[in-house]
Amino acid sequence: MNIVKWAPIFVAVIVLGFFSSNISFAQFTPVDNYLLACGSSQNVTFLGQTYIPDSAQSSVSLKTRGNSIVATSNSTAPFPIYQSARIFTTTTSYRFDIEREGRHWVRLHFYPLRGQNLTSASITVVTDDFVLLHNFSFNTYNGSYLFKEYAINVTSNSLSITFIPGNNSVAFVNAIEVVSIPDNLISDQAVALSPYGPISGLSGLALETVYRLNMGGPLVTAQNDTLGRTWENDVKYLHVNSSAVNVSVSPSNIKYGASVSPEIAPNYVYATAETMGEANVANVNFNITWVFEVDPNFSYLVRVHFCDIVSKSLNSLIFNLYINTDIAIGSLDLSNQAGNLDVPYYRDFVAKTSADSNTLTVSVGPDTNTDLINAIMNGLEIMKMSNDVRSLTGTLPVDNLLVLPPKKNKTGIIIGSVVGAFAAMVFIGLCYFCLAARRSKEAQQGSSWLPLPLYGNSLTVTKMSTTSQKSGTASCITIGSSNLGRFFTFQEIMDATNKFDENLLLGVGGFGRVYKGTLEDGTRVAVKRGNPRSEQGLAEFRTEIEMLSKLRHRHLVSLIGYCDERSEMILVYEYMANGPLRSHLYGTDLPSLSWKQRLEICIGAARGLHYLHTGATQSIIHRDVKTTNILLDENFVAKVADFGLSKTGPALDQTHVSTAVKGSFGYLDPEYFRRQQLTEKSDVYSFGVVLMEVLCTRPALNPVLPREQVNIAEWAMAWQRKGMLEHIMDKNLAGKVNTASLKKFGETAEKCLAEHGVDRPSMGDVLWNLEYALQLEETSSALMEPDDNSTNHIPGIPLTPLEPFDNSVSMIEGGHSGTDDDAEDAATSAVFSQLVNPRGR
């Protein structure tokens, strides 16, 4: 995993020989081009490139506090480059002079030479800013050699690569490459999935090549790629081998346009492809799916390469691209986007993996609105992106791994430091008094809410709290409303989570990571820490606080407090013992829920949503209803969570709210998606998807399945209209569900999933019908046959929990809003917001 495999390279070179007469490369010459054969005494030629001994390169210096060992081997190494190595007994750095700043390849080669006992070596590699490798050992690696490729943006005139041996061990390296990359190869921007939208800041991240595939073609090596890249064949990653068939044309047919150069990918890649084959399914509308093993809790840059080498005319090849369960591109008219046939086209996307997911899937499948049933892919690159601590292999930053040599004591430096510190203290004091005076003036004028800064401390006044007095740290309370929950100092958060101990990690969402914590008084909490590089930020942070501070209901999450100290955005919720509903449906080994439990959970979630729509002065639209945002307490009571995307509903004289589309694919109201017009009925549609997910125990979108089964809403509705919903429901429920109850449940979901919002019921009506389905389940079978008009309840069966009501009633329980009982229930419930989001958001 995470390795670009080269073998069998020489076979691939021979296979590529028939292309030799058609080679057409742009002549990119890297300004910085270091190829080092570490420990070698002579030049080494490998794949057409010459590697120079690391001791003979004048622009590279080797800095160490101990001796490095040069080792060579006469044994048969897999490749010439692995016949020597440099072994480090202490922390050692290579320093490279950089003539041109920008992205550079950093490639590392490792092979444990025989006779040197390097198999047990523990290797950590860092640059000035990033952790590339941490505690790697061949003892736990299934392979004879290791090749790693990274893309790092160098912003100074030098680059250091440091090798750190593990305790009582050594580190080693056989070869190093540091090579300039064209400026346009990796953009600063890409398209994020879940939610769909642009994302920037890629230039500040390190990237590791995990997979680079030449679809339908042979292995392409550095000899056939001007940037020295290796492209392997895709067959072993196909989910179903028979789903794809390879096609090819002469590389000379490829016509590069203005937006794609040969540096993006060589013509060998665009000249071959995988198209739809025979997948042994009754319906030809299936997807070609590739499955990749990846590391959880990381984001990945996914670059897809296309070139229409199969069509005879323009605008005839139209298909969809899926990444995980997200639609990355819908109805892609390839020749139209590329400009012509045989013209390359590529797109970049960012996909996330959750804590419980170690696979990433990429699929292409035909669009239903085209006559030609086909799809194509020519190439694929998957690159891991560095995380919050600038690491590609863990949670420790460079500073924690790199022990710097001690500095020499110099009197001048000491005196200068003291003077500088004194001046800084005077300046800070002046700023503090000015700011305090300004805040005092603002406080007298009054303020309803002061916005929280994205990367700085909030506009707050300080006073000593009980906890602060114990620790000697000043705590803060926000100016304005006193109902925003408790303010936590960052130190309190650190203590509660044991300094964000990874063993306490509960999950990762679009906003950030969620940890289990324990407050000083023993209260268990869930702590959601914002990720500064997330596409979600201040707006979602503020919305969540504002929404939850004014909402109180036994089926909504309760916010305990927040922290915006030290450039942090942290939300604190009461701990929810049984986590998200999704984890009890599929993807884990948790016990299956009974039908009655599922109905009660759906009823609880519906009550929470109904309160949002009717219980406040102005309705609130959740906008991200899904099974990961319905949380369960220790008694399996359901509560709706995650209000970061919530939106105030339309005013009385309006029918909708016009707003940009946000939410999760698979749950999105199609009318909202097309028209950007949001209503409460958008939540009703999403809840209908949840109902089908609860019944069928499968994801809302699953591109691995045949085309007609990808979308659960479309697939389940086809069975519902046939009156055969029992054929697709969870097998654990077989023979355990009352027929009448299932019928009512299916009818309710069908109405929720109506194409147009005006045809969908209100959440109050949905709740009424779910209560009815539960009573049908609990009533004797003699009374369980509803009449044809099953939207009406059976005469003689009282609707004890809920009578039919007027939709104008503000709150369903008791017909009033914000009761004391609800406040008490909310205060004692255990809740937290979106602990696990398998696909980001």
pLDDT (tens digit, 9 = 90+) per residue, 104-115?
A: 999 999 999 887
- The question of whether 308 is a catalytic residue gets the answer no
Query: What number of H helices and E strands is found in the chain?
Result: 15, 42
**Per-residue pLDDT for 513 more than 90?**
no
95-99, 261-265, 421-425, 464-468: least confidently modelled range: 464-468
Q: Are 640 and 758 contained in the same domain?
A: yes
How much of the chain, in percent, has pLDDT values that exceed 90? 46
Residue with more model confidence, 446 or 651: 651
- Farthest CA pair distance, the chain: 95
Residue with more model confidence, 510 or 777: 777
Q: For position 823, what pLDDT does the model report?
A: 36
Q: Which of 549, 574, 599 is the last residue of a domain?
A: 574
Catalytic residue from among 32, 234, 624, 730: 624
Q: Are 542 and 600 contained in the same domain?
A: no
> Which strand (E) or helix (H) includes residue 822?
helix 820-828
Q: Where are the alpha helices (DSSP H) in 615-757?
A: 670-675, 680-696, 712-721, 739-752
Q: Are 165 and 274 contained in the same domain?
A: no
Structure tokens that stand for 690 in this block: 């949840």
CA 228 to CA 192: how far, in whole Å? 28
Q: Shortest CA distance to 191 belongs to which of 342, 330, 394?
A: 330
Query: Is 295 a member of any domain?
Result: yes
Q: For position 779, what pLDDT does the model report?
A: 80
Under the banding of pLDDT at 50, 70 and 90, the label for residue 644 is: confident
Segment 409-437 shows an average pLDDT of 61
CA 233 to CA 9: how far, in whole Å? 12
Axis crossing angle, helix 680-696 with helix 595-614, rounded to the nearest 10: 170
Q: In Å, how far from its chain's centre is CA 165?
A: 32
Amino acid at 732: N
CA 511 to CA 629: how far, in whole Å? 13
Q: Are 258 and 346 contained in the same domain?
A: yes
- What lies within 8 Å, CB to CB, of 660 at 6+ separation is 676
Q: For position 811, what pLDDT does the model report?
A: 28
Phi-psi region of 512 (alpha: psi -120 to 50; beta: other; left: phi over 0): left
Under the banding of pLDDT at 50, 70 and 90, the label for residue 444 is: very low
Three-state secondary structure readout of 408-470: CCCHHHHHHHHHHHHHHHHHHHHHHHHHHHHHHHHHHHCCCECCCCCCCCCCEEEECCHHHHH
How much of the chain, in percent, has pLDDT values that exceed 70? 74
Query: Is 410 a member of any domain?
Result: no
**Per-residue pLDDT for 447 more than 50?**
no
Residue 751 among known ligand-binding residues: no
Residue with more model confidence, 22 or 290: 290
Q: In Å, how far from its chain's centre is CA 802?
A: 41
Q: Are 783 and 691 contained in the same domain?
A: yes
**Per-residue pLDDT for 363 more than 90?**
yes
Q: Using an 8 Å Cβ cutoff, are 684 and 752 in contact? A: yes
- Strand-pair partners of 153: 103
Segment 517-525 shows an average pLDDT of 88
Query: Is 11 a member of any domain?
Result: no
183-192, 276-285, 441-450: least confidently modelled range: 441-450
Segment 572-590 shows an average pLDDT of 89
Question: Residue 718: helix, strand or coil by DSSP?
Answer: helix
Q: Where are the alpha helices (DSSP H) in 384-410?
A: 398-401
Q: What CATH number is given to the structural domain containing 105?
A: 2.60.120.430
Q: Are 140 and 244 contained in the same domain?
A: no
Q: What CATH number is given to the structural domain containing 488?
A: 3.30.200.20
Q: For position 537, what pLDDT does the model report?
A: 54
Query: Is 96 a member of any domain?
Result: yes
Under the banding of pLDDT at 50, 70 and 90, the label for residue 787 is: very low
Under the banding of pLDDT at 50, 70 and 90, the label for residue 242 is: confident
Q: For position 433, what pLDDT does the model report?
A: 60
Q: For position 106, what pLDDT does the model report?
A: 98
pLDDT (tens digit, 9 = 90+) per residue, 3-12?
A: 444 444 433 4
pLDDT (tens digit, 9 = 90+) per residue, 702-741?
A: 877 887 888 899 999 999 999 999 999 999 998 899 999 9
Amino acid at 394: G
Segment 59-82 shows an average pLDDT of 77
Q: Where are the alpha helices (DSSP H) in 264-382?
A: 267-270, 334-338
Q: Are 353 and 256 contained in the same domain?
A: yes
CA 306 to CA 344: how far, in whole Å? 6
**Per-residue pLDDT for 33 more than 80?**
yes
HSE of 130, CA atoms in CB hemisphere, 13 A:
22
Q: Using an 8 Å Cβ cutoff, are 212 and 231 in contact? A: yes
Please state whether beta strands 68-72 and 158-165 pair in parallel, antiparallel, or not at all (unpaired): unpaired
Query: Is 174 a member of any domain?
Result: yes
Q: Are 605 and 703 contained in the same domain?
A: yes
Place of tokens 């990355």: 328
Phi-psi region of 697 (alpha: psi -120 to 50; beta: other; left: phi over 0): left
Residue with more model confidence, 451 or 288: 288
Amino acid at 352: K
Q: For position 684, what pLDDT does the model report?
A: 97
For residue 401, report the phi and psi dihedrals to the nearest 5 degrees.
-100, -30
Segment 458-484 shows an average pLDDT of 34
Q: Are 570 and 673 contained in the same domain?
A: no
Query: Is 462 a member of any domain?
Result: no
**Per-residue pLDDT for 421 more than 60?**
yes
- What lies within 8 Å, CB to CB, of 435 at 6+ separation is none
- What lies within 8 Å, CB to CB, of 488 at 6+ separation is 561, 562, 563, 570, 572
Q: How many domains is the chain built from?
A: 4
Q: For position 65, what pLDDT does the model report?
A: 57
Query: Is 728 a member of any domain?
Result: yes
Residue with more model confidence, 655 or 26: 655
Segment 639-645 shows an average pLDDT of 84
Q: For position 663, what pLDDT does the model report?
A: 77
Query: Is 421 a member of any domain?
Result: no
Q: Are 144 and 253 contained in the same domain?
A: no
Q: Are 624 and 737 contained in the same domain?
A: yes
Residue with more model confidence, 793 or 811: 793
> Which strand (E) or helix (H) includes residue 306?
strand 299-306
Q: What CATH number is given to the structural domain containing 772?
A: 1.10.510.10
**Per-residue pLDDT for 497 more than 60?**
yes
Domain around 684 = 581-816
Q: Are 763 and 636 contained in the same domain?
A: yes
What is the average pLDDT value for the chain, to the nearest integer?
79
Q: Shortest CA distance to 123 belongs to which of 160, 173, 75, 157?
A: 173
**Per-residue pLDDT for 460 more than 60?**
no
